[in-house]
Amino acid sequence: EPEVTQTPSHQVTQMGQEVILRCVPISNHLYFYWYRQILGQKVEFLVSFYNNEISEKSEIFDDQFSVERPDGSNFTLKIRSTKLEDSAMYFCASSLELSNIQYFGAGTRLSVL
Amino acid sequence: AQTVTQSQPEMSVQEAETVTLSCTYDTSESDYYLFWYKQPPSRQMILVIRQEAYKQQNATENRFSVNFQKAAKSFSLKISDSQLGDAAMYFCAYRHRDSGTYKYIFGTGTRLKVLA
């Protein structure tokens, strides 16, 4: 069964550094999403992406964050200057169409020291 | 605003027994989807079951079934014949359309322990 894959599984970085989290959505899917889960808290929507542009973003997704689909397969989340509070599990998801189920990846655990 | 509440932070069940995980939600919409996701220690979020609000029949998927009470805004998950592999964090989620995008609103999760 097709899966959403995310790399790395765990990323450790120093505060102030830039990180790029990578996702390979299911190949024929057109809609892409990032969610965040701070330890012990609920999963929160960050951003949705379609047709090479952001279609919706939450208040969490400030100027420090950006997303990109640099080629036909990858979907990345960049945090420009990480803060301690960015430490969380980041989930990528994709769906075939807007109204379809979103399939989630296994997540990347980001630890900001 | 839509909210999803899971009031049980942790539940335990004996292997082969049945357990029910609770979920309530708040919405003013009439047409929506509800989901249960499983997050085992491997961290992959796995879709367990989904329910369309316009369908009165409760969804079932093998040992997993839901009790969907639309008027009460309740969406509980029943796991029958529990297995050790069912041990995981379970998230209830509501799919909400806001400004043209579908977003998932998640509950805080229920950690299920399965006792041998």
pLDDT in tens, A72-86: 789 999 999 999 999
Contact B76, B20 (CB under 8 A): yes
Query: What is chain A's percent helix, strand, coil content, to nearest 5?
Result: 5, 50, 45
Quickly list DSSP for A49-97. Answer: EETTEEEEE-TT--TTEEEE--SSS-EEEEESS--GGG-EEEEEEEESS
Chain A CB within 8 Å of residue B107 CB: yes
The span from the CA of B73 to the CA of B59, in Å, is: 15
The residues on A that touch B, with CB distances below 8 Å, are: 9, 35, 41-45, 48, 55-56, 89, 91, 95, 98-99, 101-107, 109
Per-residue pLDDT tens over the stretch A47-66? 999 999 998 888 889 999 99
pLDDT classification of B25: cutoffs 50, 70, 90: very high
Q: Which of B44, B91, B93 sits opposite A106 (nearest CB)?
A: B44
CA distances in angstroms from A68 to A33, B104, B113, listed in the order given: 11, 21, 39
| Interface contact A44-B106, CB threshold 8 A | yes
In terms of residues, how long is chain A? 113
